[in-house]
Amino acid sequence: MGRSWGRTAPDRWIVGLSGDLGAGKTHLVKGLAQGLDVTARVHSPTFAIIHEYGGGRLPLVHLDLYRLETIAQLQSAGVEDELLAPRGVVVVEWFERWAGAGLPLGLVAVRRVTMAVLGDTERQIAYEDTGA
């Protein structure tokens, strides 16, 4: 699924991922990277908060908001520019932290993705497109 989305992803696209630990959020990002022809190894930015990957059809910016809990932390982490004026494809794990804080997004297309673990090898993925 991620690979397919990456092949057709528009510039300035935000993909917001929500789901429990182990739901497959980073795995979906790896597929997006493949679809964008990014050759770098994609890994979770939980501790770095942000990873940027170039060399593909579009840049890929991968954010992880898991460790950020307050509006002040979100705003001071340096991720605000990526969501207000994204470049390439911006994927945000734990997107509900940004959306739940009521913080704005740029005038861009957003795909909100919810992932649920149904079993060891089974996931339920639902998504909704909003924005431009």
Please report the DSSP string for 15-61 in residue order.
Answer: EEEEE-TTSSHHHHHHHHHHHTT--SPP---TTTSEEEE-SSSS-EE
Residue 119: per-residue pLDDT: 92
19-23, 24-28, 70-74, 113-117: least confidently modelled range: 70-74
CATH of the domain at 100: 3.40.50.300
Q: How many domains does the chain have?
A: 1
| pLDDT, tens digit, 9 for 90 and up, residues 114-128 | 999 999 989 999 999
**Range of the structural domain that residue 79 is part of:** 2-131
pLDDT confidence of 59, banded at 50, 70, 90? very high
| pLDDT, tens digit, 9 for 90 and up, residues 25-36 | 999 999 999 999
